Structure 1
Amino acid sequence: MKTLSWQARKKLRKHSNEMISLRKMMEEELETEEAVIKKLIAHPKGVMLWSNKTIDLFHDRCREDIVYVDATGSIVKKAKGKTSPFYVYEMVVRNPFKGSSPVPVATYITNDHTTASISFFLGSFLTDVIRLHGRGAKQRPVMLICDGSTVLMQSMAYHFCGVSLQELLSRYYSICRQNYHLAMHVFGLMTQATTMSELDEVVTSAVVVFSSSHSDRNVGKHFENLQGLLTNSAQSNLDDSTIVEDCVVIIM
């Protein structure tokens, strides 16, 4: 049945050569607003797919939700005589309708699994996003998630953050160190609270700041509250007149 199904689909091709067939389909689509095939690459073989509707969806969702980038090699069969398998790279966002399946907003099928290849895919898609929504659309999503692929991480770091992966990791390390010190100071605020109301204020703001996946207006409000509490604590005068210094005598 699988062979019969493949043979039936093959008869519907515009040409016996798959790349020429895709080229003919692309030329026909150019005359419509629903064009999906955006780029064809002859060597190494590759095809990029997205539409104006998926660009609009990406633009709307990325400002408030997670964008996923992933790859799978189990959909397209390995071509004869080729050493590299075909992978399907997809950029996916959550469906705006609750309970519905996630939506792929851009797809790239290729057997070239290099940083240059994936960067070309991401760059081409983001160029079309800017073309439709202007330069302001270049602002990166609130959160990006991918697997541990170095190629994906390098490409995403460059196109969404404007820096190399090494530079991005260095910045993240610096942020983690700063947040570690911030957490220690916030814990100190908790120990200085003299009423349940004061303790509740610190705990509430700390929970909002440290448990949020990204920054928004509410996170900013609570972060500023913590900053104010820390500043007031630092400026408070400590009465050290009652502190008695212990004299320690060391006998040799």
Structure 2
Amino acid sequence: MAQLEQFTTPVDAVISRMRALDAALPERDGVAVFNRVYLTVTEEVDRHIDAGAFPDPRAAATLDVRFAERYLAAVDSADRVRRAPACWRPLFQFRRHPGVRPLQFALAGINAHIGHDLALAVVDACRSLDCAPTDLEDEFERVGGVLDSLEERIRDALLPGPDLLRIADPLTHLLGSWSLERARDAAWSTARALWALRPLPEVAAELTERLDAAVGLAGRMLLTPLPD
């Protein structure tokens, strides 16, 4: 039990930071929309860890925290002189655009976080735990299962109601171009590739940079403003 408590404290810390963001940001702000979604997911993962649903709670908490820290660092960079990663820039640039719907904001954030941050977080966690990505596969899949279970709930909560059926068709078409399952699979493959490229840091850096740019492009398309 002592070992579990040691590693739930950092999870509680990132949850506290997300709650503070939720309280500080306007409700309609695009970052606030994604933050509420991610806070729900992180709280759910934390409950699973506390309930003993992960075979290795230490590894699960480490992966969860390293993952969240990348999002929080991106938010911090948006408020400072430092430039945010390319994958997050579309969300920060369009966060107040009146033609972008809440579901688009949520998926653009998920795209940046899963498509770019998740692979890097796996590598971060492996370095912290002194293990290989394959040692974290169970934790990776279980966290992914939490994301999958919440995805439908998120879409139901944020899709436009009957009074907005005029935009539902283009929005549905836009959302159909992105898949959480494919993004998770790609993140896992990228994490393994980056881990294997440790002896070649320049190649790993180039791969990371290109991944960042590609995910940013996808995010920009997800945030295409829709007609009123």
User: Please, what TM-score do these two structures have when normalized by structure 2?
Assistant: 0.30
Kindly indicate whether structure 1 or structure 2 has the higher relative contact order, using CA contacts under 8 Å at least 6 residues apart.
2
* Bigger helix fraction: 2
TM-score between both structures, scaled by the size of structure 1 = 0.28
Query: Going by fraction, where is strand more abundant, 1 or 2?
Result: 1
